[in-house]
Amino acid sequence: MKHNNVCKIRILLIGNSKETYIKDWSDELQKRISKFSSIELLELNSKQTDIKKRQKEEFELLSSKFETGRFKVLLDVEGRSYNSIEFSKKIIDSGLTNFQGIDFFIGGPFGLRQEDKQIFDTLVSLSNLTFNHQLAKVVLLEQIYRSFTIIKGITYHY
């Protein structure tokens, strides 16, 4: 993996965490990742209660943070599943080598509308199981950290 320090990883998600155990785990994983890459977490909030309006507002919130030249990854139930080694090579290494950085997007409880999914570079599924957005954030952070240890040959992944 060859990337400059300007490259960073951003995680943009709908909702914020009030649970201290989620925040503690998230903070610890971000600290570990920061040894390899800068990482930023942006939590955005939707005010809508109507499902259709909420999906539209969530897409507008997420897409307002799009930056040119970045690899846009949407976590979605319809996305492709990867094992940890594939994820490290095809998403992290490729994303940081071929783009200015990687943005991971986690939508709200109803996901994004089909037409909005088309503008992402790829869709990734973390599991066949459904996770709430805060647990998905922690699983994603752990996989990002695991990916860097795989790429760097650091003992963590067996």
Residue list for the binding site: 75, 107, 126-131
CB 147 within 8 A of CB 87: yes
How many other CB atoms are there within 10 angstroms of residue 156's CB atom?
A: 11
Contacts of 73 (CB under 8 A, 6+ apart): 91, 95, 102, 103, 104, 105, 120, 121, 122, 123, 124
CA-closest candidate to residue 17, choices 78, 106, 82, 79: 106
For residue 75, what are its two tokens? 């976590």
Known binding-site residue numbers for S-adenosyl-L-methionine: 75, 107, 126-131
Position 9, amino acid: I
